[in-house]
């Protein structure tokens, strides 16, 4: 097969941002991006699609237009990693050799883990913002519902954008509140987790919205089956140390699918025990293969899996990969930054920004945006500023806001 200085597996947020960052620093390198999809998605926009604020077309662009100049697009899926031979295996039987590998194929949405779900998705009141295809159906269901029961589910962590399951609920409730029908809708949030949100300082503001909307919080309640025709969802709930099964009828249900490392990652020598690609939390380098890096949703680092995290990780991986090509040790480290803009109502956001261990890492001074309180400016950020920042800065390797932190610097 062909040989490249750098092979990047996955041309999503992380793959394109990292490729652009590397080629801006060193346009002469040979760099290939392995990505099977013709389309690239701005997934953070799907919460807004589900609420009728963005058109879904706004969140999709042709991959061909985003591959940076100087990069070679290999339009194929990777099927395996052979890091002892410095090779990536492709589904079509080819393989690629590299001096440095950057692996970022994202996280797998495991729709099939919930029996009955795949058959009924997009019909019978069953929807999900975790899909370009179905996010518009969320908005249709919400505008049509005038009474009855609405369920919102959240699976076991980690998932991408841990706040997105509740964002769907808040924005739906806000639409029902404005339409005057909220009082006739029984809203139930079922989360497999033991808390509403993993970082405690944001919970009080979120609880105010749970109360305002009259939503019921079901903790440690995990969706395990769905019967679309009968409109019944089955949950496994923890009661003391017993697990019981509870069936709930619904008029609509917003499902967030269970998520795991992609199968070809999980079964590869790069995998950590969790199945995700093992990395050192600071340098994002593989502990056993020093010429392998990983970032984004597919890596094992304990940050919040978000595009916001990728924005900070990409330049760190870029400079560390370039140092590795030069035979040097990694030069930059990542603090675990991730961000989750919790859309609590149309026009207001609780902007969670934190690093490893839940340490607050606000981008703005408190007088401008207090992350723990709902903010109008944060909504403006999400609605009008972050999408162009994504397309025109992050995916182009323009890093005026995210200079990588140099080790010892």
List CB contacts of 244: < 8 A, sequence separation 6 or more.
236, 237
Report the residue number, 13 or 86, with the smaller CB distance to ligand FAD.
13
How far apart are the C-alpha atoms of 201 and 157, rounded to whole Å? 19
Contact present, 149 and 249 (Cβ < 8 Å)? yes
Contact present, 302 and 295 (Cβ < 8 Å)? no
The pair of three-digit structure tokens given for residue 335, joined into one six-digit string: 């603090």
Handedness of CA 269, 275, 277, 280 (dihedral sign): negative
Helix (H) or strand (E) segment spanning residue 100: strand 95-103
How far apart are the C-alpha atoms of 320 and 333, rounded to whole Å? 9
Binding-site string for ligand FAD from residue 272 to residue 311, where x marks contact by CB under 6 A and - marks none: ------------------------xxx------xxxx-x-
Which three-class secondary structure state does DSSP give residue 221?
Answer: strand
Report the residue number, 29 or 256, with the smaller CB distance to ligand FAD.
256
**Catalytic residue annotation:** 161, 340
Report the residue number, 138 or 283, with the smaller CB distance to ligand FAD.
138
Q: Does position 33 bind ligand FAD by CB under 6 A?
A: no
Smallest distance from ligand FAD to CB 408, Å: 28
Of 21, 77, 174, 320, the residue at the interface with ligand FAD (CB under 6 A) is 77
135-164 binders of ligand FAD (CB under 6 A):
160-161, 164
List CB contacts of 271: < 8 A, sequence separation 6 or more.
261, 265, 277, 278
- Residue nearest ligand FAD (C-beta atom): 12
Smallest distance from ligand FAD to CB 308, Å: 4
Report the residue number, 32 or 231, with the smaller CB distance to ligand FAD.
32
The pair of three-digit structure tokens given for residue 353, joined into one six-digit string: 């920004």
Smallest distance from ligand FAD to CB 138, Å: 10
User: Could you give phi then psi for residue 376, rounded to 5 degrees?
Assistant: -75, -35
CA 300 to chain centre: 14
Smallest distance from ligand FAD to CB 198, Å: 15
Q: Does position 262 bind ligand FAD by CB under 6 A?
A: yes
Of 155, 228, 330, 341, the residue at the interface with ligand FAD (CB under 6 A) is 341
The pair of three-digit structure tokens given for residue 181, joined into one six-digit string: 């029908």
Q: Does position 231 bind ligand FAD by CB under 6 A?
A: no
List CB contacts of 242: < 8 A, sequence separation 6 or more.
none
Q: Does position 37 bind ligand FAD by CB under 6 A?
A: yes
Size of the site for ligand FAD (CB under 6 A): 37
The pair of three-digit structure tokens given for residue 225, joined into one six-digit string: 């089956």
161-200 binders of ligand FAD (CB under 6 A):
161, 164
Q: Does position 105 bind ligand FAD by CB under 6 A?
A: yes
Report the residue number, 308 or 321, with the smaller CB distance to ligand FAD.
308
DSSP category for residue 215: P
DSSP string computed for 317-343: HHHHHHHHHTT----EE----EEEEEE
Q: Does position 130 bind ligand FAD by CB under 6 A?
A: yes
How far apart are the C-alpha atoms of 111 and 143, rounded to whole Å? 25
Q: Does position 9 bind ligand FAD by CB under 6 A?
A: yes
Smallest distance from ligand FAD to CB 103, Å: 9
Smallest distance from ligand FAD to CB 241, Å: 33
The residues that bridge with 126 in the sheet, in sequence order, are: 253
The pair of three-digit structure tokens given for residue 236, joined into one six-digit string: 């496994």
Of 24, 36, 219, 266, the residue at the interface with ligand FAD (CB under 6 A) is 36
Of 6, 7, 8, 10, the residue at the interface with ligand FAD (CB under 6 A) is 10
Report the residue number, 131 or 231, with the smaller CB distance to ligand FAD.
131
Contact set with ligand FAD (CB under 6 A): 9-15, 34-37, 43-44, 46-47, 77-78, 104-106, 129-130, 160-161, 164, 262, 264, 296-298, 305-308, 310, 339, 341
């Amino acid at each position: 097969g062909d040989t490249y200085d750098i092979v990047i597996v996955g041309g999503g947020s992380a793959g394109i941002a990292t490729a652009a960052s590397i080629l801006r620093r060193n346009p002469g390198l040979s760099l290939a991006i392995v990505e099977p999809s013709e389309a690239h998605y701005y997934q953070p926009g799907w919460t807004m699609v589900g609420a009728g604020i963005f058109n879904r077309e706004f969140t999709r662009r042709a991959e061909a237009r985003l591959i940076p100049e100087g990069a070679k697009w290999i339009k194929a899926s990777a099927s395996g990693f052979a890091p002892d031979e410095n090779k990536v295996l492709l589904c079509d039987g080819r393989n690629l050799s590299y001096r440095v590998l950057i692996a970022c194929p994202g996280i797998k949405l495991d729709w099939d883990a919930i029996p009955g779900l795949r058959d009924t998705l997009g019909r019978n009141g069953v929807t999900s913002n975790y899909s370009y295809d179905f996010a518009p159906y969320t908005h249709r269901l919400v505008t049509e519902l005038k009474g009855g029961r609405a369920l919102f589910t959240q699976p076991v962590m980690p998932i991408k954008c841990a706040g997105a399951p509740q964002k769907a609920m808040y924005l739906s409730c806000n639409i029902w509140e404005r339409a005057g029908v909220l009082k006739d809708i029984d809203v139930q949030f079922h989360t497999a987790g033991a808390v509403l949100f993993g970082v405690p300082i944001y919970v009080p503001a979120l609880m105010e919205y749970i109360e305002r909307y009259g939503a019921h919080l079901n903790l440690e309640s995990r969706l395990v089956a769905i019967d679309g025709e009968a409109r019944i969802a089955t949950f496994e709930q923890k009661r003391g140390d017993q697990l019981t099964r509870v069936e709930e009828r619904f008029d609509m249900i917003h499902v967030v699918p269970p998520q795991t490392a992609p199968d070809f990652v999980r079964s590869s020598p790069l995998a950590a025990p969790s199945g995700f690609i093992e990395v050192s939390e600071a340098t994002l380098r593989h502990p056993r293969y020093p010429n392998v890096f990983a970032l984004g949703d597919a890596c094992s680092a304990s940050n919040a899996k978000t595009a916001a995290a990728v924005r900070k990780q990409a330049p760190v991986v870029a400079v560390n990969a370039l140092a590795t090509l030069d035979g040097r040790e990694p030069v930059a480290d990542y603090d675990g930054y991730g961000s989750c803009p919790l859309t609590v109502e149309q026009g207001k956001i609780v902007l969670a920004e934190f690093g490893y261990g839940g340490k607050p890492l606000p981008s703005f001074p408190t007088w401008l945006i207090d992350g723990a309180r709902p903010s109008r400016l944060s909504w403006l950020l999400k609605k009008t500023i972050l999408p162009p920042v994504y397309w025109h800065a992050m995916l182009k390797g323009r890093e005026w806001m995210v200079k990588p932190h140099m080790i010892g610097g």
